[in-house]
């Protein structure tokens, strides 16, 4: 390798650490473990790298910028997460650059590369869409490529790879417990409403199916209770109203907007809530308390996850890679309101 063409980002990539850590090593900072220091210095010695003044200052005086990527800022969960993340980053003296990728692979890859081109110190991916459906490794290869350049954090999705850190909500357990609590209250026909096949949506679906099977429903019968809808209040209502054979006394929705659509469906049918039908949403967003009756919802603790994510980023930028778990699971909490007994 031509040593004149090597820069601090190459050293970070080859060492498997952040650019901040590389610069801390070169500045003699005590905030770097001996193991990490040796790893970086071995790479520097191998390629014969000599830093310029700007690069050498990047560690203790970094760009102080974190990239945040969301599929759409129009979604309330995404916009809330971005607000929480920016608030926490500012507390640590960091700015953020926001990218909206959309849900298609090309958009995700292009926006990821755009953020990386800004020489960010770390990248945060908000939402389980970035983890695909949890099974296709090809769909997440661009994330592993990004992690060779900066630490990558994923909120509510899991991707395996070096320098990738995930915070995953216990979605499957939360929906399983919500469904079984409905069953214990005598509900016979519970349906699950979702709008995607993402990592998180699939976990929620699995929780619903497990609960149905626990009371003797066969696999096909359980799957018949899963209805894919558009993430739009009135379209959820209208789709359910158009299903003439739909008979349900319980609905669990993968987010609060879909749950409100279910509330409007039940009211349009002249059903009493929660006597005739119980409804549970997800995310415990402001939407859940913005309708009448107010919606029982599963709180996935977005604010706490965002704060923890920023705290973990700061640890890495201080040279603490070896001490950080690559995946943490976050328990959810059911917040009971007027749509359940």
182 and 279: one domain? Answer: yes
Neighbours of 25 (CB within 10 A): 24
206 and 290: one domain? Answer: yes
Task: Give the pLDDT mean for 249-266.
Answer: 98
Residue 271 lies in a domain: yes
177 and 224: one domain? Answer: yes
Residue 88 lies in a domain: yes
160 and 247: one domain? Answer: no
Strand partners, 201: none
139 and 177: one domain? Answer: no
pLDDT at 135: 66
Residue 338 lies in a domain: no
- Residues 313-333 have pLDDT tens digits of 998 887 655 578 889 999 999
203 and 164: one domain? Answer: no
Cα distance between residue 167 and residue 158, in whole Å: 7
Residue 186 lies in a domain: yes
248 and 318: one domain? Answer: no
Q: Could you tell me the strand order of the sheet in which 226-228 lies? A: 226-228, 190-194, 250-253, 278-282, 296-299, 333-335
Residue 251 lies in a domain: yes
pTM: 0.81
- Residues 157-211 have pLDDT tens digits of 899 988 899 999 999 999 999 999 999 999 999 999 999 999 899 999 999 999 9
Neighbours of 242 (CB within 10 A): 8
Cα distance between residue 309 and residue 151, in whole Å: 12
- Which of 56, 76, 95 terminates a domain? The answer is 56
- Which of 23, 38, 56 terminates a domain? The answer is 56
Which CATH number characterizes residue 106's domain?
A: 3.40.50.2300
**Residue 61 or 280, more confident:** 280
151 and 101: one domain? Answer: yes
- Residues 201-241 have pLDDT tens digits of 999 999 999 999 999 988 887 788 999 999 999 999 999 99
**Residue 31 sits in which domain range?**
3-56
In the chain, how many domains are there?
Answer: 3
């Amino acid at each position: 390798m031509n040593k004149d063409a090597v820069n601090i980002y190459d050293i970070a990539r080859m060492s498997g650490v952040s650019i901040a850590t590389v610069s801390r090593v070169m500045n003699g900072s005590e905030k770097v473990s001996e193991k990490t220091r040796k790893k970086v210095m071995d790479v520097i010695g191998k390629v014969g790298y000599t830093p310029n003044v700007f690069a050498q200052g990047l560690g203790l005086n970094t760009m102080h910028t974190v990239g945040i990527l969301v599929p759409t800022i129009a979604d309330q969960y995404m916009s809330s997460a971005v607000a929480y993340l920016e608030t926490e980053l500012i507390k640590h003296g960091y700015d953020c650059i926001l990218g909206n990728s959309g849900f298609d692979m090309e958009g995700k890859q292009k926006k990821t590369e755009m953020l990386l081109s800004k020489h960010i110190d770390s990248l945060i991916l908000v939402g389980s869409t970035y983890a695909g459906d949890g099974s296709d490794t090809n769909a997440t290869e661009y994330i592993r490529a990004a992690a060779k350049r900066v630490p990558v954090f994923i909120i509510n999705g899991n991707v395996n790879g070096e320098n990738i850190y995930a915070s995953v909500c216990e979605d499957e357990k939360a929906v399983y417990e919500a469904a079984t609590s409905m069953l214990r209250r005598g509900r016979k026909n519970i349906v699950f409403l979702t709008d995607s096949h993402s990592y998180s949506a699939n976990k929620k679906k699995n929780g619903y199916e497990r609960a149905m099977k626990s009371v003797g429903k066969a696999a096909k019968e359980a799957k018949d209770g899963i209805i894919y809808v558009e993430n739009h209040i009135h379209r959820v209502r209208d789709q359910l109203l158009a299903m003439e054979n739909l008979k349900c006394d319980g609905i669990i929705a993968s987010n609060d907007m879909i749950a409100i659509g279910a509330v409007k469906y039940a009211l349009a049918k002249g059903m009493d809530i929660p006597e005739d039908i119980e409804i549970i949403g997800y995310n415990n967003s402001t939407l859940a308390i913005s309708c009448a009756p107010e919606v029982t919802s599963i709180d996935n603790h977005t604010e706490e996850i965002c704060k923890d994510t920023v705290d973990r980023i700061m640890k890495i930028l201080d040279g603490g890679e070896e001490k950080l778990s690559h995946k943490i699971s976050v328990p959810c909490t059911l917040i009971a309101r007027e749509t359940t007994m």
